[in-house]
Amino acid sequence: MSGTVDGPAAPPPREKRTPPPLPEPLAPLVDAHTHLDACGATDADDVRAILDRAESVGVRAVVTIADDLDAARWATQAAEWDQRVYAAVALHPTRANALTDDARAELERLAEHPRVVAVGETGMDLYWPGRLEGCADPVDQREAFAWHIDLAKRTGKPLMIHNRDADAAVLDVLLAEGAPDTVIFHCFSSGPEMARECVDAGWLLSLSGTVSFKNATQLREAARLIPPGQLLVETDAPFLTPHPYRGAPNESYCLPYTVRALAEVVGRPAEDLARETAETATATYRIRT
């Protein structure tokens, strides 16, 4: 998660709100980044129910993301339970201090799984150190980020980046280590200057419900700079539920709300954005929908 208070490293909400209603269908869509386990899924039946809701509104596939080793194991298993689910494995930057030799060995093994389509989420988070007990410091984060970059190169799979308050640091590490062939900035929440840097480098930017937030002026400006072929859409569920349901539990079925909000921002038909981002996701992750 990037650039907002919500996200895997954030404290849990104090109370649960009613989930948003099902939106009008919009197809085809691919949820480029979600956390099925954090959405409450524990077994194959739970995963199937979430994907059935998503498919009913046009979301044909999702990539469920790991932020620790247990989540990496679970995500890989979930991708075997339902053919609409794919996985990404890594340690979240805030948990970079858990990247032991044993953890590296297991992540390397999981990253080779055919249903694992990306290495992530990894990157830099300069918001939580000093605020979250046990959070990895920037030195550990940088070392872990470099290792995940190398893993993406060795496996030939896309690198999925978490960037929170760390534009310069992320760019510095990518420059020092050399970026993999495919780089995805998940939940891109920076401004137009960072967007231009990423677009010029050929990297992909994935937009979440934050693009619908009323105070996201810089992000909206950045969104208009992303060309087709470099744009993905995601929920980051259960976090970042789009307006007007912000604060309610998010899930993959909510993706049409985000895409319609994005369509208003960029002045394009939502149907075109759905089709283009789905095509980009299937090509980037090498998946079928």
Which tens digit of pLDDT belongs to each residue from 66-123? 999 999 999 999 999 999 999 999 999 999 999 999 999 999 999 999 999 999 999 9
Q: Which domains does the chain have, with CATH numbers?
A: 29-285 (3.20.20.140)
Which tens digit of pLDDT belongs to each residue from 15-54? 568 999 999 999 999 999 999 999 999 999 999 999 999 9
Does the pLDDT at position 13 exceed 80? Answer: no
Angle between helices 138-155 and 101-111 (to 10 degrees): 30
What global pTM score does this model have?
Answer: 0.94
Q: What pLDDT is stored for residue 45 in this prediction?
A: 98
d(CA 127, CA 33): 21
Does the pLDDT at position 9 exceed 80? Answer: no
* Category of 123 on φ-ψ map: left (φ > 0), alpha (ψ -120 to 50) or beta: left
Does the pLDDT at position 237 exceed 80? Answer: yes
Q: What pLDDT is stored for residue 17 in this prediction?
A: 86
Going by pLDDT thresholds of 50, 70 and 90, the confidence category of residue 4 is: very low
SS3 72: helix
Across 199-209, average pLDDT: 98
Percent of the chain with pLDDT over 70: 94
Neighbours of 48 (CB within 10 A): 15
Q: What pLDDT is stored for residue 16 in this prediction?
A: 67
- Mean pLDDT of the chain, nearest integer: 95
Which tens digit of pLDDT belongs to each residue from 140-176? 999 999 999 999 999 999 999 999 999 999 999 999 9
Tokens (6 digits) for 85: 């689910």
Give the strands of the sheet with 85-89, arranged side by side. 29-34, 59-65, 85-89, 116-125, 159-164, 183-185, 204-207, 231-233
Q: What pLDDT is stored for residue 234 in this prediction?
A: 98
Taking alpha carbons only, the member of 159, 179, 4 closest to residue 89 is 159
Q: What pLDDT is stored for residue 118 in this prediction?
A: 98
Q: What pLDDT is stored for residue 24 in this prediction?
A: 98
